[in-house]
Chains A and B, each alone.
Chain A
Amino acid sequence: DAGITQSPRYKITETGRQVTLMCHQTWSHSYMFWYRQDLGHGLRLIYYSAAADITDKGEVPDGYVVSRSKTENFPLTLESATRSQTSVYFCASKGRESSYNEQFFGPGTRLTVL
């Protein structure tokens, strides 16, 4: 299916475990983004990527690792999950050909760290 998808949609894990959230887009968009959304904070940017093999930190990168070996995928890894990383995570993408900032968001992954 065309579009941007995230998996899993729901995940429960325990403190200290490694978790990877997947993001896949079928538009060949150059830019991809990871946000987290918590009550009282709105959406905050974790990491972003301008192209394959190019990533950069956003506002709240600590505790997260990203990679971008293929244009269509942008996985987010929590190396050792903590309770404070309980959140809803949204992935987004944007095409390079568009000069304005229209980002397309995925449906989100709801992560609970016990």
Chain B
Amino acid sequence: DAKTTQPPSMDCAEGRAANLPCNHSTISGNEYVYWYRQIHSQGPQYIIHGLKNNETNEMASLIITEDRKSSTLILPHATLRDTAVYYCIVSSGGSNYKLTFGKGTLLTVNP
């Protein structure tokens, strides 16, 4: 699975949009981009995933560049409860569905 690069930390004001970038320049054609987050001391939580089209669900939006070498997770109206480590993961799935977590981005939402 391709490797991802994320900034170690970011800050965001409460109520504003949080835009979390991820680089995955070696992504291959059958690999999806997944985003998970981990709130302090809890297990990770799935947020969203995409292949090449932009995706939106009740939690977030995912914007993938046309060349698929980078993506941005958008939390449209960040709240204090969105403070967490966000992981961008590239995975091809297949028969085992292994996930390889990097160090992620610590997003701190400030009041």
A interface residues (Cβ-Cβ under 8 A, vs B): 31, 33, 35, 42-45, 48, 50, 56, 58-59, 90, 92, 94, 99-108
A92, B45: Cα distance in complex, Å: 10
Are B98 and A90 closer than 8 Å at their CB atoms? no
| Residues of B with C-beta under 8 A to A35 | 101
Are A42 and B102 closer than 8 Å at their CB atoms? yes
B interface residues (Cβ-Cβ under 8 A, vs A): 32, 34, 41-46, 49, 87, 91, 93, 95-104
User: What are 21 A-B residue pairs whose CB atoms fall within 8 Å in the complex?
Assistant: A35-B101, A42-B87, A42-B101, A43-B101, A48-B97, A50-B95, A50-B96, A59-B100, A90-B44, A92-B43, A92-B44, A99-B93, A100-B32, A100-B49, A101-B32, A101-B49, A101-B93, A102-B46, A104-B46, A105-B42, A108-B42
Q: How far is the CB of A3 from chain B (nearest CB, A)?
A: 11
Q: How far is the CB of B19 from chain A (nearest CB, A)?
A: 22
| Residues of A with C-beta under 8 A to B34 | 100-101
Contact of B45 among A31, A33, A105 (CB under 8 A): A105
Q: How far is the CB of B104 from chain A (nearest CB, A)?
A: 7
Q: A4 — nearest CB in chain B belongs to which residue? A: B43
Are B43 and A48 closer than 8 Å at their CB atoms? no
Q: How far is the CB of A13 from chain B (nearest CB, A)?
A: 20
Are A42 and B44 closer than 8 Å at their CB atoms? no
Q: How far is the CB of B110 from chain A (nearest CB, A)?
A: 24
| Residues of B with C-beta under 8 A to A94 | 97
| Residues of A with C-beta under 8 A to B97 | 31, 48, 94, 101, 103
Are B41 and A108 closer than 8 Å at their CB atoms? yes
CB within 8 Å for A90 and B49 given contacts A48-B96, A56-B96: no
Q: How far is the CB of A69 from chain B (nearest CB, A)?
A: 20
Are B91 and A101 closer than 8 Å at their CB atoms? yes
